[in-house]
Amino acid sequence: MQTNNARDLICISLAFFFAFLGAGACQPFVIGFLTAEKGLTLAQASLVLAMVYFTFAVFRFFIGVIIDAVGLHLAKILGVAAYAVFPFILCQAGSFPVFLAASVIWGIGAPMLWTSSLVQILNTSAPTRYATHTGVLRGTVMLAVFAGAYLLAFVYACRGYEALFGLAAALCLGGIVAMVCSPNRRFKRRKPHLRMFFQVMRSHEAKTVTVFLVCSGLAYGIVLNGFKSHIETHCGKDWLKIILPVFFLAGILSNFLGGWVCDRVGRWKTFGWGFAIGATGMFLAWGSTSAPVLMVAMLLIGIEFAIVPLSAFAWIGDNTPPPDRGSVIGYIFSFRDLGVALAIQLRSTITEVATAALVFAIASAVCAGAALVAGRAAPRRKRQSLRQGSCPTKGSD
C-alpha cells in the first residue's frame, strides 16, 4: 500500500520526539534517582532499568500477536503512553515491586510503539523512500534524546530529581496527543504464527540481515557500556562532555542523510559502508588513547549505529508484504537486542582477563567481517517478492 504519507510521518515523528525528549532521555538519571531518593540499592536500581530492556527483547519477538489483538492505531497510542507511565510512577511510587512493574509496562509499550509506527511508515511510503522516511524517524529520536539530556540535566540542577521525572512524564503527553492525531490507517494483517518466523529464516538474505543486526547491536552495546569508561580512563572526565555528544550528532545527521543515500545506492552497499565505517571507528578506539582520535572513533561509530538499522528496516520494506511486516520486524530486530546483551557480557568477561581495549578490537573485527559479507552479498538473481508465497526474497537491491 502506498499513499501520501506526509501527515503520517509528521505526526509519528512528533510523537517520538516528545516521548524521547522526556522518557527516552531520562534513562541516565534513573539509577541515581532510585538510589538517592527512593532508598533502593544499586543492584535493585540497576535491575529496574535492565528490566525495561529484557521485557523489550521478549515482547518484540511476539509483537505481531499484540498488534493483531489491539490494532495498529491503538498499539501506537498505548506504546507512547507507556513512555509516560514509567517516569510518572517513578515520581509517585516508593516500592521496588512497583518500579519493576513500571519497567515491564515500558518494556511492553516500546516494541508496540516502534513496530506499529514503522509498519505504518513503510506501508504508506513509496519503495524508493523506505530508508529516507525511516531515517527521518530515527534521526528525530536521536535529536530528541540529545536535546532531552541537556534539558533534563538543567531541570535536575535547578529543581532536583522529582521535577526532572515530572517533566519527562509531562513531555510524553505531547507524544500521546501527536499520535492520536496521526492517521488511523487500516492495513490488512496476516495472523502471526511461529511458523512465519521459520519461513522468514529460510531465506539466506534474512539470516544475513539478522546477523548484521546482531553485529550492530554488539557495536552499540560496546559504546553504551564501554566507551564512557574508556574515555574517562585515558582522557579524563572533562573530555566526556566533548566526545560523547559527537556520537549523537553523527547519528542524527547520518539518519537524516543516510536514508536518502540508502534509497539511491541500495541496501547492501549501505550495509557494507556502514560496517566498514564502524570497523574503522572501533579500530581507532582500540589503537589509540588520544582524545582527538577517540572523537573521530565516536563519530564513525555513530554513523554505523545510524545507517545499519535503517538499512535493515528498508530491506524489510523491500522484501516483506504489508500484512507480514509487523511480525517480521519483531522477529529480526529481536536479534539486535541479543547483540546488545552479548556486548555487555563480552566486555565484562574479557576485561577480567585482558585489557578493555581488546573489546574494541573484537568489535572492529566483527564489523569488518560484516562489511566483507555485505560487499559480497549483492544479489545474483532477480528479486522474488515475498508476496509470492509469503517467504523472503532470494535477492534484493
Residue 345, pLDDT score: 57
Residue 337 contacts residue 53 (beta carbons within 8 Å): yes
Across 357-384, average pLDDT: 75
- Entry pTM: 0.86
Sequence-ordered list of residues with C-beta below 8 angstroms from that of 69, at least 6 positions apart, any chain? none
Q: Give the total number of structural domains in the chain.
A: 2
Residue 379 contacts residue 396 (beta carbons within 8 Å): yes
Across 79-99, average pLDDT: 93
144 pLDDT more than 90: yes
Whether residue 72 is contained in a domain is answered as: yes
Across 53-60, average pLDDT: 84
Across 70-85, average pLDDT: 94
Do 221 and 116 lie in one domain? The reply is no
152 pLDDT more than 60: yes
Residue 257, pLDDT score: 94
State the residue range of the domain holding 286: 194-376
Do 258 and 303 lie in one domain? The reply is yes
Last residue of a domain, one of 131, 152, 180: 180
Do 325 and 206 lie in one domain? The reply is yes
Whether residue 166 is contained in a domain is answered as: yes
Residue 381, pLDDT score: 37
259 pLDDT more than 70: yes
Residue with cell 566486555: 347
- Which of 116-120, 157-161, 187-191, 223-227 bottoms out in mean pLDDT, i.e. has the lowest? 223-227
- Which of 35-49, 61-75, 381-395 bottoms out in mean pLDDT, i.e. has the lowest? 381-395
Whether residue 247 is contained in a domain is answered as: yes
Across 64-77, average pLDDT: 91
Do 95 and 140 lie in one domain? The reply is yes
8 pLDDT more than 50: yes
Q: CA-to-CA distance for 383 and 397, rounded, in angstroms?
A: 8
Do 132 and 220 lie in one domain? The reply is no
Confidence of residue 396 (pLDDT cuts 50, 70, 90): very low
Q: What is the CATH number of the domain that holds 110?
A: 1.20.1250.20
Do 174 and 198 lie in one domain? The reply is no
Last residue of a domain, one of 135, 157, 180: 180
Residue 68, pLDDT score: 86
Residue 374 contacts residue 272 (beta carbons within 8 Å): yes
Average pLDDT, the chain: 85
Last residue of a domain, one of 180, 207, 228: 180
Q: Of 148, 118, 139, 129, which Cα lies nearest the Cα of 302? A: 139
Residue 140, pLDDT score: 96
Confidence of residue 253 (pLDDT cuts 50, 70, 90): very high
Residue 387, pLDDT score: 42
Confidence of residue 370 (pLDDT cuts 50, 70, 90): very high
Written as nine digits, the cell of 341 is 546483551
4 pLDDT more than 70: no
Q: Of 357, 22, 2, 331, which Cα lies nearest the Cα of 165? A: 22
Confidence of residue 65 (pLDDT cuts 50, 70, 90): confident
The percent of residues in the chain predicted with pLDDT above 70, rounded, is 88
Whether residue 388 is contained in a domain is answered as: no
Residue 224, pLDDT score: 62
Do 299 and 169 lie in one domain? The reply is no
Do 128 and 239 lie in one domain? The reply is no
390 pLDDT more than 50: no
